[in-house]
Structure 1
Amino acid sequence: MRALTSLLLFSFFSFPINAKSNSLSLYLWEDTLSPRVIQSWEQESNSILELSHFDNDDERSLLMMKNVQLPFDIVVLDNVSAQIYGDLGSFENLSDLPNRKHNAPRWNQACGDYAIPYFWGSVGIAYRKDLIASPPVTWGEFVNPPPEFNKKIGMINDSVESLLPIFYSLNLSPLTEDTQQIEAAFPKFEAFSKQVLTFEYVLSYVRSQHKQSQLQMALAYSGDQHSLNRTFGRDIWGFTIPKGETYIWLDCLAVSSHSTNKKMAKAFLNYISDPEIAAKNAIDIKAATPNLSALKQVPDWYKNDASLFPSPERIKNSIIDSELSAENISLRTKIINHIVKNHEAQY
């Protein structure tokens, strides 16, 4: 999908965006921008933020393919896409954004000159801690669960994350380019899928389904447990990162080079990169901020949340999302589409 996304967004950003002069349109994950930050920005700038949401990277890409004139000034995207699209001229250069200096160099470098880091984290397992005393310790335990978890597991429909638990359980990198390794993982993925309740992103599932309690653990992103607890109104969801290599995700913010509100869009990105605002946003959303200056203004409970900030050892033994070949993506997509199609046919 990264190879496809490059083409899709190039087409999308080749069209001018007709935004209102007193508003900014954002396309981002749901529940990733603090209502307090929205309110303070709108009051201080005398403008309006118009938010649209997606719940996986592939969905975002396909939507843009079908609607090339979607009116977004600012887009949240992964670090790989940010680099690709920036090189294509799709985004404004943000290397001179004043508050960019507050971010850790690692995250600035990962997002590149055409985007700024927003939140980062790890891929792990969200689980009902009121029902599960001992969550999976390894990815092997997750993909080979005991019988009582049959049809109680949630997955993600994504070209990398969907295969991640299977690959790690086989001691393979989730970013492997080896065709034989990918094909060899298919039977295990197919067997595991028979125990899966849904391939819908966990936050979307619990907000759209009546039988929320049926889902007891799911592949998820760090911070999702806090969104789940806000949705349920109770502190019943936890998050754990299985042993082994830690897979890091990074969200970046970019301004369309065809936006008619570039000045305001850049001002907004600079605003939410201000340490005080970034700290407020991070505390409310409960996701890991890349803003080092903001970390000096957050409470201890936030900084000590191991689900948001893994130990230095875990960070040292980690990999960050990186670009895959078109052939690799095509094979992964075929496998995942086959699995999901067969899964949906059962319901």
Structure 2
Amino acid sequence: MKRLVWLTGIILATVALLFGVNVILNKAQEPAKASKAGNSTLTIYNWGDYIDPSLIQKFEKQTGYRVNYETFDSNEAMITKIKQGGTNYDLTVPSDYMIAKMKEEHLLVPLDKSKLTNYKYYDKRFLNQSFDKGNKYSLPYFWGTLGIVYNDKYVKASEVQTWNDLWDAKWKNSIMLLDSSRDMMGMALASNDDSVNATDTATLAAAKGKLDALMPNVKAIVADEIKMYMVQDEAKIAVDYSGEAATMIDEDSHLHYVVPKGNGNIWFDNIVMPKTVKNKKAAYAFLNFISEPKNAAQNAEYVGYATPNKAAFALLPKALRNDKQWYPSNQQVSKLTVYQNLSPTLTQTYNDLFLEFKMSTKH
């Protein structure tokens, strides 16, 4: 009988152990829900490789919070996950137009400025933007531009100083374009000296016509592969974001980046507190931590994007601060515009026009 009881005990213990392991494994597969365990976890939903990992370790050591870090690859993927619910994301990092959209759909929690002790360090030029007046919901994280990447083995800097330079016949079959309707339509609009947020039918049609005229110079229309192609010397010129250009330049010293003179796009990625937040205390602790000048400067050097933190900018190496590729002059910045969140109808118009352009490509 004792042996039977003993065996029964072993069996029950084994079942309990297996059940416990299964529970642990299931929990491990649901990191976004980890903050349910208590107030010791901060769950951040961010772009991939968009923070210095050592800063996360430093934050955990300083505060005692455990950071659960998840990534997304597009604003659309991020907002879909937030809207679906069932997650406990405390902080996320959308781009400008998406912040406006999230506000409209009531997916954000207002920030309590009294708890943002390091808010004072941000450059006023990058606050109070059109997508979030008064920064009611967001805190600047990084900013950048849309511009021209060129290879100095084939192109001189003086030859690509404006968007219209790309239409020169000498660049036949030499240019890589981003597979992005908003950015390529924006480039065409800017080349016509029109707003990158144009809504007038005739203005948009003229931009589409301008794109069509560029086609002989277009070698390919691609997405993330543009970095690889430029590093592998597959094209002389590309249109891409400043941060992507920084990655290319790190791998190939012959590549350079130019913010074209005149109209263009300036973009912002800001940190927000989505309605899924569960640990506000930890969220505010992180916002203050990442806004600390020394931490923000370290993050900017690691990521390669421009910091909106004025005090952090002052701590960057002089060569980086003076590099107009990443930190264009105030005069240049004043001519750049943030993309506005367009209506679904207008968004479809931009997409349709760009699709027509792509379908006419010889590639």
Question: Helix, strand or coil: the match of 1:52?
Answer: strand
- 1:186 is matched with which residue: 198, 201, 208? 208
Q: For 1:123-202, list aligned pairs within 5 A.
A: 123-134=146-157, 135-142=159-166, 144-150=167-173, 152-193=174-215, 195-201=217-223
Work out whether 1:244 is the aligned partner of 2:244: no
**1:163 CA displacement:** 0.8
- Alignment RMSD (CA, Å): 3.1
- 1:108 is matched with which residue: 104, 108, 127? 127
Q: Work out whether residues 193 and 263 of structure 2, in 8 Å CA contact, stay in contact via their aligned partners in 1.
A: no
**1:18 CA displacement:** 2.4
Who wins on radius of gyration, i.e. which is larger? 2
- 1:290 is matched with which residue: 308, 311, 322? 308
Q: Work out whether residues 197 and 340 of structure 2, in 8 Å CA contact, stay in contact via their aligned partners in 1.
A: yes
**1:137 CA displacement:** 1.9
Q: Work out whether residues 38 and 49 of structure 1, in 8 Å CA contact, stay in contact via their aligned partners in 2.
A: no
Work out whether 1:206 is the aligned partner of 2:227: yes
Distance 1:116 1:171 in 2: 31
**Structure 1 residues 210 and 242, CA gap change in structure 2 (3 angstroms):** closer
Q: Name the structure 1 match of 2:11.
A: none
Work out whether 1:18 is the aligned partner of 2:40: no
Work out whether 1:235 is the aligned partner of 2:257: no
Distance 1:327 1:123 in 2: 24
Aligned-partner residue type, residue 109 of structure 1: N
**1:65 CA displacement:** 9.3
**Structure 1 residues 59 and 50, CA gap change in structure 2 (3 angstroms):** closer
**1:240 CA displacement:** 0.4
Q: Name which of structure 1's ranges 243-252 and 25-34 shifts more when overlaid on structure 2.
A: 25-34
**Structure 1 residues 246 and 337, CA gap change in structure 2 (3 angstroms):** closer
Question: Helix, strand or coil: the match of 2:214?
Answer: helix
TM-score, normalization by structure 2 = 0.76
Question: Helix, strand or coil: the match of 1:223?
Answer: helix
> Higher helix share goes to which structure?
2
Question: Helix, strand or coil: the match of 1:248?
Answer: strand
Structure 1 runs not aligned, ≥5 long = 1-16
**Structure 1 residues 312 and 333, CA gap change in structure 2 (3 angstroms):** same
Q: Work out whether residues 82 and 274 of structure 2, in 8 Å CA contact, stay in contact via their aligned partners in 1.
A: no
How many residues are aligned here? 321
Aligned-partner residue type, residue 107 of structure 1: F
**Residue-by-residue CA offset, 1:195-250 (whole Å, 9 max, x unaligned):** 4344333x54435x7983213322222233221233x2x42321101221343211
Question: Helix, strand or coil: the match of 2:118?
Answer: helix
Aligned-partner residue type, residue 191 of structure 2: S
